[in-house]
Structure 1
Amino acid sequence: MEYELWRTLCLDMPGAYEDFPFGEEAAVYKVAGRDRSKSKMFGLLMLRSGVVSLNLKCDPALAEQLRAANPQINPGYHMNKKHWNTVTPGLDAEMMRDLIEDSYDLVVASLPRTEREALGWKGLVERG
């Protein structure tokens, strides 16, 4: 159930698409404006030993707070543990949407201005 919900939430982000560079058990969610060759990953949805998990980018200070408050949020599996979290089932849909949007925003903010404009991205502050 979480797999499909999380997949849908990731694909709902403007300019997001799904890729499988590591095989069918690891869906990578990337964002690109006009040029897919400049795309960047904002999510990695995995099915490992029957357990679904989602790696998401996160501001380091917030990542620490989220990990302390939620046992379902841990340092990123096979990722930079300072900037990525791994989320497992147990959080409500609204919180998952927020975590995915935050990851997306951090990645889009690093894209060139023309790519951000092509996505119609309003920025971290303006979205609220």
Structure 2
Amino acid sequence: MEKKALIAHCLTYHNAVEDYPFADNDFTIMRHPGGGKWFACIMHLQGKLCINLKCDPVKSEFLRKTYKGVYPAWHMNKEHWNTVEVGSVPKGELFAMITHSFELTAPKIPKAKKANKKAEK
């Protein structure tokens, strides 16, 4: 998979935004709208296309033991983020990891809004 295809996939997530906040345009940040939380950082490391993804710590450890190309994230919290070498895991697994990261970083709905939504039903 090439970088453009990976970015295109990330843009299929609800309201996802592509951003280039650093002078080095090799780093593509995929964000949620509004608060702008990252759910992915796409870049090249040592000549390999990689993506940093947030992950539940227990699942993160499992993925690192299962796939050689999944390891503690470069330049991120090592407990909660993984770097994934694109092509080192099956495409379906990679997409599941992206979905997991997107869900973990999604803005939280305040309790008051949750209560109002339930009342509307």
- Tell me the TM-score normalized by structure 1: 0.79
Aligned partner of 1:122 in structure 2 is none
The answer to whether structure 1 residue 8 and structure 2 residue 4 are counterparts is: no
1:52 counterpart = 2:61 = no
Question: Shift of the alpha carbon at 1:60?
Answer: 0.3
**SS state of the match for residue 3, structure 2?**
helix
In terms of fraction of residues, the more helix-rich structure is: 1
Partner of 1:113: 109
Amino acid at match of 1:67: R
Give the letter aligned to residue 113 of structure 1.
I
Q: How well do the aligned residues superpose, as a CA RMSD in angstroms?
A: 1.6
Query: Conserved in 2, the CA contact under 8 Å of 1:27 and 1:44?
Result: yes
Hey, what does 1:93 align to over in structure 2?
91
Mapped contact 2:67–2:88 kept (Cα < 8 A):
no
Give the whole-Å Cα distance in 2 for the aligned partners of 1:72 and 1:52: 11
Of residues 42-51 and 20-29 in structure 1, the stretch that sits farther from structure 2 once superposed is 42-51
What TM-score results when the alignment is normalised by the length of structure 2? 0.83
- Give the deviation of 1:10 after TM superposition: 1.1
Whichever residue aligns with residue 20 of structure 1, its letter is Y
- The alignment-based identity, stated in percent, is 32
AA matched with 2:102: Y
Cα deviation for residue 99 of structure 1 reads 0.4
Amino acid at match of 2:88: G
SS state at 1:64 partner:
helix
Q: Structure 2: any 5+ residue segments left out of the alignment? A: 114-121
CA contact (8 A) 1:6 1:96 kept: no
Structure 1 unpaired stretches of 5+ = 118-128
1:83 has 2:54 as partner: no
Q: Report if the CA contact (8 A) 2:69-2:88 is conserved.
A: yes
Higher mean C-alpha displacement, 74-83 vs 7-16: 7-16
What code does the residue aligned with 1:7 have?
Answer: I
| Residues 44-53 or 12-21, more deviating | 44-53
Distance 1:71 1:2 in 2: 20
Size of the aligned set, in residue pairs, is 109
1:112 deviation in Å? 3.6
Query: After TM superposition, where is structure 1 displaced by more than 2 Å over at least 4 residues in a row?
Result: none
